[in-house]
């Protein structure tokens, strides 16, 4: 086996371990509550030692945040890969997500998605880590927008709009409204919100 193939295999095994540990932990947290489950319980359920678990996830909260880690630089990737103005690309991306029922937009009634969001926003220590996640999202987007204070200010506004829109959709669905009933309002709200962004940030529109 070549060195490259061996390295690729190790990386795939490493990524699978991240996924397994996160999935096992989230399953336990949803069943018993985040604070009621110890790291030792997660390690035992995943059939690994505590030191092994901590090599992958230094903090208990990281086991949960891993599930949304891929989305941390999503807005930045949209901007970097776009052939249109940044806000045009981000508006299209969010509206496409609403159409697909992407959980990131909050417009999903899948029981596991609703349970995960309730865990994430209903646990103080996790909610605090989400704030750090959002700060990293802002930093990545600011870099994609060219860096500097103006880019950081714009990134903060864009990330806040995406977060508020998604939370409003999730709240309504969590309270029992149907996705089909929420979607038209969600689309209209997104159009209005991005319209406000474009008016205030014409250099990105």
Q: Judge contact between 90 and 155, C-beta under 8 A.
A: no
Dihedral sign for Cα atoms in the order 183, 188, 193, 198? positive
Q: What was the pLDDT predicted at 2?
A: 57
* pLDDT, tens digit only, all 205 positions of the chain: 556 676 778 889 999 999 999 999 999 999 999 999 999 999 999 999 999 999 999 999 999 999 988 889 999 999 999 999 999 999 999 999 999 999 999 999 999 999 999 999 899 999 988 888 899 999 999 999 999 999 999 999 999 999 999 999 999 999 999 999 999 999 999 999 999 999 999 999 9
DSSP code, position 84: S
Q: What was the pLDDT predicted at 69?
A: 87
177 by Cβ neighbours in 10 Å (0-12 / 13-18 / 19+) ranks as: middle
Q: What was the pLDDT predicted at 24?
A: 97
Domains of the chain: residue spans and CATH: 3-59 (1.10.10.60), 71-204 (no CATH)
For residue 91 the two structure tokens come to 């508006």
Q: What was the pLDDT predicted at 42?
A: 97
Q: What was the pLDDT predicted at 4?
A: 64
Q: What was the pLDDT predicted at 80?
A: 96
Mean residue pLDDT of the chain comes to: 94
CA R_g for the chain: 19
**Number of continuous H segments (helices) and E segments (strands) in the chain:** 10, 0
For residue 66 the two structure tokens come to 């891993």
Burial 139-172 (b: 16+ CB within 10 A, else e): bbbbbbbeeeeebbebbbbbbebbeebbeebbeb
The helix or strand, by DSSP H or E, that contains position 103, with its residue range, turns out to be: none
């Amino acid at each position: 086996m070549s060195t490259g193939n061996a390295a690729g295999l190790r990386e795939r095994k490493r990524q699978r371990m991240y996924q397994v540990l996160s999935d096992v932990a989230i399953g336990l947290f949803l069943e018993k509550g985040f604070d009621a489950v110890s790291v030792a319980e997660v390690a035992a359920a995943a059939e690994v030692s505590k030191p092994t678990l901590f090599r992958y996830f230094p903090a208990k909260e990281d086991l949960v945040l891993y599930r949304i880690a891929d989305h941390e630089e999503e807005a930045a990737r949209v901007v970097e890969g776009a052939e249109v103005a940044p806000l045009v690309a981000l508006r299209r991306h969010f509206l496409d997500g609403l159409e697909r029922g992407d959980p990131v937009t909050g417009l999903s009634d899948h029981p596991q998605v609703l349970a995960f969001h309730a865990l994430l926003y209903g646990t103080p220590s996790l909610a605090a880590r989400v704030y750090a996640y959002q700060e990293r999202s802002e930093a990545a987007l600011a870099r994609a927008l060219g860096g500097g204070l103006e880019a950081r200010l714009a990134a903060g506004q864009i990330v806040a709009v995406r977060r508020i829109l998604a939370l409003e959709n999730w709240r309504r669905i969590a309270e029992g409204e149907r996705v089909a009933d929420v979607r038209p309002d969600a689309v209209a709200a997104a159009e209005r919100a991005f319209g406000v962004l474009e008016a205030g940030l014409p250099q990105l529109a």
